[in-house]
């Protein structure tokens, strides 16, 4: 029974270890946290195999291996670099910002519902005759778009919150970087939702309107926007570049000193 509970809650236990390490400075806790975080991701490929999503099978396995490797660097190779501490803190903060919405239905449904309401409100402000179609569905001219968790941009916001808040830098610049990323990402995502609803509802691209609007144009636009936001954040927090470079070096050399 205890083992089953531990397996079911391995994500939260791992994040708790990472957060405890960030607070206490005890690196062994972060090493254990990374190992448990890896176990969580190692549980995911079975789900994606069942639905034939081979891309996410490879992605989750890669994240699991990366987590195990960082845990090994910290626990076995006794990594003492700032980058390992930064990475652990970033995952702890980002994880606690994202996974409650991903794993807990009340929070997930609230975020999706509020995003759908704001999207519909903005559509009305632009005189687009869209209407609520029940739940988180928005309809326009008989075409329906459902707002899901991915449509809230919570993943990207949590990622930026984690990397920004965990870096050692003056508070003023960290807050500037946070404001230049998290609220901007959410606002841009609302306009992304509007674009998809309008392009699909008005059939801008014919029968393939939803696919082209959502899977091609919106995703490409999101990638460009995130790149631009990342550039601004790095300009505000050049310390992040140092951490990324140092972490890459630690990964290449297994946590030891370069030869």
Q: Where are the domains of the chain?
A: 1-78, 104-259
**Does position 7 have pLDDT exceeding 90, yes or no?**
no
* Rg over CA atoms, the chain: 21
Of the candidates 229, 257, 81, the residue with the CA atom closest to the CA atom of residue 163: 229
Tell me, what's the pLDDT at 97? Answer: 96
**Does position 9 have pLDDT exceeding 50, yes or no?**
yes
User: CA 108 to CA 98: how far, in whole Å?
Assistant: 10
SS3 label, residue 105: helix
Tell me, what's the pLDDT at 259? Answer: 38
DSSP assignment, residue 256?
A: S
Tell me, what's the pLDDT at 224? Answer: 96
Q: Which tens digits make up the pLDDT trace of 186-209?
A: 999 999 999 999 999 999 998 899
Q: What percentage of the chain reaches a pLDDT higher than 90?
A: 73
Tell me, what's the pLDDT at 258? Answer: 44
Mean pLDDT of 164-187: 95
Give the mean pLDDT of the chain: 91
Q: Count CB-CB contacts under 10 A for residue 66.
A: 16
**Does position 57 have pLDDT exceeding 90, yes or no?**
no
pTM, entire model: 0.89
Mean pLDDT of 209-222: 93
Give 144's strand partners: 139
User: CA 124 to CA 119: how far, in whole Å?
Assistant: 9
Query: Do residues 178 and 165 lie in contact, with contact meaning Cβ atoms separated by under 8 Å?
Result: yes
Q: Which tens digits make up the pLDDT trace of 89-105?
A: 999 999 999 999 999 99
| Segment among 57-66, 75-84, 153-162 with least mean pLDDT | 75-84
| Segment among 178-182, 199-203, 250-254 with least mean pLDDT | 250-254
Q: What percentage of the chain reaches a pLDDT higher than 70?
A: 97
Tell me, what's the pLDDT at 6? Answer: 75
**Does position 18 have pLDDT exceeding 90, yes or no?**
yes
User: CA 10 to CA 157: how far, in whole Å?
Assistant: 23
Tell me, what's the pLDDT at 8? Answer: 80
Hunting for tokens 């970033």 — which residue is that?
A: 90
Longest CA span, the chain = 65
């Amino acid at each position: 029974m205890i083992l089953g509970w531990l397996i079911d809650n391995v994500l939260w236990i791992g994040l708790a270890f990472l957060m405890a390490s960030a607070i206490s400075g005890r690196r062994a806790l972060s090493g254990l946290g990374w190992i448990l975080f890896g176990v969580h991701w190692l549980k995911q490929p079975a789900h994606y195999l069942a639905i034939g999503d081979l891309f996410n099978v490879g992605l989750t396995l890669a994240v699991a291996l990366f987590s195990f490797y960082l845990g090994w660097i910290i626990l076995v190779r006794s990594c003492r670099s700032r980058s390992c501490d930064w990475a652990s803190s970033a995952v702890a903060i980002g994880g606690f910002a994202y996974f409650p919405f991903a794993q807990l239905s009340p929070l997930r449904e609230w975020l999706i519902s509020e995003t759908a309401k704001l999207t519909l409100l903005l559509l009305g402000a632009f005189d687009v005759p869209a209407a609520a179609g029940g739940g988180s569905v928005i309809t326009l001219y008989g075409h329906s778009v459902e707002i899901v968790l991915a449509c809230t941009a919570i993943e990207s916001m949590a990622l930026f919150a984690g990397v920004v808040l965990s870096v050692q830098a003056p508070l003023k610049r960290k807050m500037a970087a946070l404001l230049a990323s998290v609220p901007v990402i959410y606002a841009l995502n609302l306009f992304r939702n509007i674009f998809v609803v309008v392009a699909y509802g008005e059939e801008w691209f014919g029968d393939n309107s939803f696919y082209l609007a959502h899977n091609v144009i919106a995703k490409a636009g999101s990638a460009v926007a995130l790149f631009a936001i990342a550039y601004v954040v790095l300009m505000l927090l050049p310390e992040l570049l140092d951490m990324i470079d140092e972490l890459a070096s630690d990964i290449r050399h297994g946590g030891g000193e370069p030869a």
